[in-house]
Amino acid sequence: MGTDGGMRPGDLASGIARPALSGAMRARQTKKERDRVTAKQVLGFVAVAAFTTWLTKQLDDLVERKLA
């Protein structure tokens, strides 16, 4: 978070880039194990990665607030 409470550009970029990369890596692994990976599966992998990234950040923020 920025000093004004908003998101910094780096936070926003990492919030998008990490889940996309994680989802793409999972899709590649699935493709290696099977013949095909559908677009729905790739989007699903990215969505799950984005959600878990968001949830982890929320939990980290909660812990920081409680321990501060």
Q: Is 55 a member of any domain? A: yes
The closest of 3, 10, 1, 44 to 24, measured between CA atoms, is: 44
Domain of 63?
9-67
Q: Name the one residue in this structure whose structure tokens are 């920081």.
A: 64
- In the predicted model, is pLDDT for residue 18 greater than 80? no
Q: Is 45 a member of any domain? A: yes
- In the predicted model, is pLDDT for residue 1 greater than 50? no
Q: Is 4 a member of any domain? A: no
Amino acid sitting at position 22: S
pLDDT in tens, 23-50: 778 788 888 887 787 888 888 888 888 8
According to the model, what pLDDT value does residue 63 have?
92
**Tally of domains within the chain:** 1
Whether residue 27 contacts residue 42, with contact meaning beta carbons closer than 8 Å, is answered with: yes
Tell me, yes or no, if the pTM score tops 0.75.
Answer: no
pLDDT in tens, 46-60: 888 888 888 888 899
